[in-house]
Amino acid sequence: MKKRGAKTRTGPFSIAGMVLDDIPGVMEIERRSFPTPWSESSFRYELLENPYASLFVARADQPPEVIAFASVWVVDDEMKINNLGVHPLWRRKGVATRLLAFLLAFAAGQGCRQATLEVRPSNAAALRLYQKAGFVLTGRRKEYYTDTHEDALVMTCPVSPPGRPPSLAPSDR
């Protein structure tokens, strides 16, 4: 059984498990954020059929209601972050930092020892976010992204045990 995590209020928005009604808002962010967006059917599959997947959204009280989302897989003692996006109107407001901290806390609660992800070397904002959260470069996947044949940087971060917050910069706590 999937564990989605409780709804968490974090300032002007809350973070909770994604539901089917969130998909249109997620798709808007996906299309505005990524050169090769996931399809709606991919999100439906992850949400309804993939036993390893957990999906989360950040919701605001005003439009756009869905302001960020993340899709992760938990397999054994590792959480793999597959996708994380923030609506353009909400970027540079700490949303991604808080969502990432939520994901790392979720991973700890699931018994994970580490989190991994792939990121484009050209995505400077994401690289800064992940490095600030404690992710380090551990590998490279050659020509990983089919749209541009850009490599993917593989990054890994140790997960803090439950009850201990992930290490973020003091200004982000």
**Could you give the residue ranges of the DSSP H alpha helices within 16-169?**
23-33, 40-48, 95-109, 124-132
Q: Are strands 13-17 and 66-75 parallel, antiparallel or unpaired?
A: unpaired
Count the neighbouring beta carbons within 10 Å of the beta carbon of residue 3. 11
Would you say 82 and 116 are in contact if contact means Cβ atoms under 8 Å apart? Answer: no
Could you confirm whether 28 is annotated as catalytic? no
Could you confirm whether 118 is annotated as catalytic? yes
Over its C-alpha atoms, the chain yields an Rg (Å, rounded) of 15
Catalytically annotated residue among 118, 144, 145, 150: 118
- CA dist 101 and 105 (Å) reads 6
Query: Which residues neighbour 167 within 8 Å (Cβ) at sequence distance 6 or greater?
Result: 133, 134, 160
Catalytic residue numbers, as ranges? 118, 130
